[in-house]
């Protein structure tokens, strides 16, 4: 089909955590048509974007992978903007700001891409991807290509229907608010300054927040009260400035990270009877210990 394919692809340098092994088969589509063709020809294909909240096993993964990094087109029509799923959130925020369009300023500090940000309803500092969302073009096995509206997305905190229905976002359309360019840039700078002050930058390889905030509570505060800022396993360490972040100090393995996630989750459960839900997505399955850790980490609480 003329779609770029890389076999035995070393993914490590492409992930936010700088962790990961060899992926057997990776496709790089550039258009929606190419994406759909790949999905039709490959059952149970795994779709990845900027891999900013993904932990990929050092032991690799046998699944076929679609990376959307080349699906990076943006188009504006007045105050409406449409972005393909591989567009980086930071780029979308910057392009909107150049035209004096407000509503996506918070994305300036996000390392993810539009597909993933819609999938998990990214949010920060009082703004969320759902606020200005109009509709998306998506793909679902046995249904094919179709559009989904804001109401149909069932957005919630860090959630959307995509997560429960295995829906793949291919492009998203937003209605933005005309605003003075200087005001939009000022808001972006404010968000970026906040993020730099409260979260590790990517020169300390990390995957953003490890856990979702429980209803009415803060995962970071619960972890801090459990002493998690002092936790480390191998090359993986809880960031000293915020207990809901794990950084790679230089030689962390995927097993190190999973062991540390389990330790963090367990200490909160033992002290508060709250099982924190991970934001991190794991991709692997070729190692027995990692498979056991994932079973423990991702299983729902029985309470």
Which pLDDT value is given to residue 285? 86
From the candidates 16, 52, 102, 209, give the one annotated as an active-site residue: 209
Residue 43 has a pLDDT of 78
| 43 class by beta-carbon count within 10 Å (0-12 exposed, 13-18 middle, 19+ buried) | exposed
Q: Give CA torsion, residues 289, 290, 291, 292, to 10 deg.
A: 50
d(C-alpha 202, C-alpha 209), whole Å: 13
Whole-number pLDDT of residue 301: 56
Any catalytic annotation for residue 279? yes
pTM confidence score: 0.90
* pLDDT, position 303: 41
Average pLDDT of each block of 10 consecutive residues along the chain (303 residues)?
92 94 96 96 88 94 93 98 97 98 92 93 90 97 95 95 95 98 96 87 88 95 98 98 96 98 98 96 94 94 47
In the chain, where the domains are located: 74-198
Residue in 80, 123, 130, 158 annotated catalytic: 158
Q: Is 158 a catalytic residue?
A: yes
Q: Which residue, 98, 169, 164, is CA-closest to 130?
A: 169
**pLDDT for position 38:** 95
Q: Count of residues for the chain? A: 303
pLDDT score for 269: 98
DSSP 8-state symbol, 208 = S
Q: What is the pLDDT of residue 302?
A: 43
195 classed as catalytic: no
The answer regarding whether domain 74-198 maps to CATH 3.40.430.10 reads: no
> Using N-to-C axis directions, what is the helix angle for 288-298 and 254-272, rounded to 10°?
30
How confident is the model over 45-98, as pLDDT tens digits? 899 998 989 999 999 988 899 999 999 999 999 999 999 999 999 999 999 999
């Amino acid at each position: 089909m003329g779609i770029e394919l890389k076999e035995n692809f070393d993914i490590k340098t492409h992930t936010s955590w700088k962790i990961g092994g060899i992926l057997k088969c990776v496709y790089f589509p550039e258009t929606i048509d190419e994406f759909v063709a790949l999905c039709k020809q490959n059952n149970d294909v795994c779709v990845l974007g900027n891999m900013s909240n993904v932990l990929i096993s050092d032991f690799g993964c046998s699944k076929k992978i679609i990376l959307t990094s080349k699906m990076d087109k943006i188009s504006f029509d007045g105050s409406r903007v449409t972005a393909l799923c591989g567009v980086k959130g930071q780029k979308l925020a910057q392009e909107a700001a150049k035209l004096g369009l407000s509503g996506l300023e918070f994305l300036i500090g996000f390392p993810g891409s539009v597909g993933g940000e819609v999938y998990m309803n990214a949010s920060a500092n009082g703004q969320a991807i759902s606020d200005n969302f109009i509709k998306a073009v998506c793909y679902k096995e046995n249904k094919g290509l179709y559009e989904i509206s804001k109401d149909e997305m069932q957005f919630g905190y860090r959630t959307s229907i995509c997560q429960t229905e295995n829906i793949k976002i291919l492009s998203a359309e937003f209605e933005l608010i005309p605003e003075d360019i200087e005001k939009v840039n000022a808001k972006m700078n404010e968000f970026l300054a906040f993020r730099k002050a409260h979260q590790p930058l990517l020169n300390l390889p990390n995957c953003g927040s490890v856990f979702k905030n429980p209803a009415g509570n803060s995962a970071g505060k619960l972890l801090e009260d459990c002493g998690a800022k002092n936790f480390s396993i191998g090359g993986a360490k809880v960031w000293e400035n915020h207990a809901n972040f794990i950084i790679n100090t230089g030689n962390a393995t995927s097993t190190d990270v999973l062991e540390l996630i389990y330790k963090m989750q367990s200490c909160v459960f033992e002290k508060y009877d709250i099982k924190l839900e991970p934001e991190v997505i794991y991709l692997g399955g070729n190692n027995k210990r990692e498979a056991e850790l994932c079973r423990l980490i991702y299983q729902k609480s029985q309470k």
